[in-house]
A and B are shown apart, each in its own frame.
Chain A
Amino acid sequence: MSDQPTPPPKPILSPFQTASRLGVILVVIALLGGAFAYTGGWLDPQRLTPTRIVDSFEQASGRHPGFRRNHAKGVCVVGLFVSTGAAAKFSSAEVFAPGRRTPVVGRFAIPGGNPYAPDGGVPIRSLALRFNQLNGQQWRTGMNSMPVFPVATPQAFYEQLQASQPVAATGKPDPERMKAFFAAHPETAPFLQWVKSAKPSASFATEAYNGLNAFFLVNDAGQRQAVRWGLVPEETAQPGGQPLPADPDFLAQDLAQRLAHGPLRWHLTLILANPGDPTNDATKQWPAGRTVVDAGTLLLQSTEPQDSGPCRDINYDPLVLPTGILPSDDPLLAARSAVYATSYERRTSEEAGVSAAGHTAPPAAKDPRS
């Protein structure tokens, strides 16, 4: 009936043989499943994962569905970058070609996970940019107004996040815990030195923004040059600072008022490392006297609220880079990229009403305006 060839006679397995062969199969499956679970971090709760860092932000500031987990309060800006061409001999990126005009979608923000925080509460402002090159490649970067990052490694950053968790009694971080953290992390000294005298600015427009992490510029000949970039404003703040307006959202208002009178300008400066300058330590500024290249002018022309503006759906992942820029060995870069991806996954999932895999959400924080 069947046109199957007759199988060759095979020895009958004893019950012991059958059981041991089944055992072998189960062991193979269990080993493969176990290796998968280990790789995914499920057997290793102590591993520092993007999930644990993003959870810490939520723990500190409450969960604000749809918002970024850090730098949650911000506004969108739109403009363009006009290249001088001075950086073209260091990097083959299209954005640096002489006279090239590259459209930019940016976002000003203040640090912290609370989208309703008062602007005067922190002395740091940030600016993230996405350059859309005509060739389809993009350059995304996030910059901050401080000159150095407090810590050099993701592990230290996580410890800082843990040390600064608000305590239930006061709603503020425990000063003793903070002190202990900073004592255990002497690399935070330059940041603490800066923050001692730093005052919250009354405007985004008068701030300089620093990339903090190092990268490599790569030119057409394949030569690599270590670099840190920053933005230097053309606007200047009133000497001695100015009293901060009472409105907690004064930064967005100031920005809109200034843009109503015309575009705001910054110079994109590339600080070129000397041989031996550290590229893996964002807590250390490079010594003075480094060559600084004025790569061009950033013109910001208009602003929109972040819940409807074009920056809303952008993940300013610092590792989205065009040809001609490469990441350095700074360990913060991969961590930022991984953590931003998790933040982006959560906030878009909240908007879509689907639950992000592996995320057991704490209850949403109360929106003070709803």
Chain B
Amino acid sequence: MPLLNKILFVEDDPDIQMVAQLALEAVGGYTVQMCSSGAEALAVAEQFAPDLILLDVMMPGMDGPTTLAELRKKPTLAQTPVIFMTARVQRHEIEQYLALGAADVISKPFDPMTLSTQVADIWKRAYETRSR
């Protein structure tokens, strides 16, 4: 299984950004690139070449699903696992997100102490599913 190292984190709320940065960098030991909008993510994603992308569903401007669709158009990002982050939603909404091609959905607010474990688990599953 390839190692999970680089994570692109797309989220407009600076408070959540700060906590996530700590949770993923200090606790998880990953390299994190923060983006505050979908547009910003599209601008930096190819160069940063993330192993995994965490994407907020509801952002001003380009929302999560649209950003995902745009990211998928780039050949180097077509296969990158994407995790949506969203507030507690109905089951059918989660299924919609999964149908869009997300690897999983993490509900907000997340627990900063366990976020990196959660992400690592999803990464492992995404990889296992793919290789089987």
| A and B associate | no
